[in-house]
Amino acid sequence: MLKLCGFRISNYHNKVRIALLEKGIEHEEDASCTPKQSGEFLARSPMGKAPFLELDDGRRLTESQVICEYLEEAYPQKPLLPRDPWQRARVRELVTHIELYLELPVRRTYGFVFFGRAVDEQVKQAVEKDLAKGVRALKALATFAPYIAGPELTLADCAAFVHLPLVSLTTKLAYGRDFLEDLRELRPYLQMLGERPAFRRVNDERKVAQAAAQKK
């Protein structure tokens, strides 16, 4: 049986978990794997990152999008990528834009937003400029018809559901406003996804994990 190894606060772990549940793939979860640089952990994940996927025969895959692409090819019965090559590329384009131009830039503010470090004004200004470009690109690419890439649920929705609320929250805390507030379709879209059993389950488990972490 496949085993997803990571931790439930991680948006990248949760992206893969949603894909597994939506596709109906039987799997186990080890939610105790946080990033480490120990030799033992590096033997399982070469960069010491999570999540990673362990296969029945001991082989492993790292990086959330690589894992999702593998799941698409190995378990095609319930696809999360369209059949049409152009539409498949459009889904991948959306995932890439969300992760490279929104999630990754906003992550640079986590130190002073979530971990009490001193505010770095240069970083803050640079991130603001990068996010403006990312938001502009998202507005151009997202369709919300009703899903973010079109009429069918795709991997782009798995990514959007875990990343975009974090972008909204972080920008509110760092800049005093939600950088995604002008995307009027976003809130009802996320609410729609949140009503799906797989999305709701993963989101509920994330909240429990966060609450537990805050008590430590």
- Backbone torsion region of residue 153, taken as left when φ is above 0, otherwise alpha when ψ lies between -120 and 50, otherwise beta: beta
Quick one: pLDDT band at residue 214, thresholds 50, 70, 90?
Answer: confident
Quick one: pLDDT band at residue 168, thresholds 50, 70, 90?
Answer: very high
pLDDT in tens, 39-81: 999 999 999 999 999 999 999 999 999 999 999 999 999 999 9
**Mean pLDDT, to the nearest integer, of 10-35?**
98
Q: Take residue 110 and report the two structure tokens written for it.
A: 């986590």
As a whole number of angstroms, the distance between CA 96 and CA 134 comes to: 11
> Is the link from the previous residue into 79 a cis peptide, with omega within 30 of 0?
no
Residues in contact with 132: Cβ distance below 8 Å, sequence separation at least 6, in sequence order:
179
Which helix H or strand E contains 158, and what residues bound it? helix 155-175
Query: Which of 86, 72, 68, 77 has its CA nearest to residue 149?
Result: 86
**Mean pLDDT, to the nearest integer, of 85-114?**
97
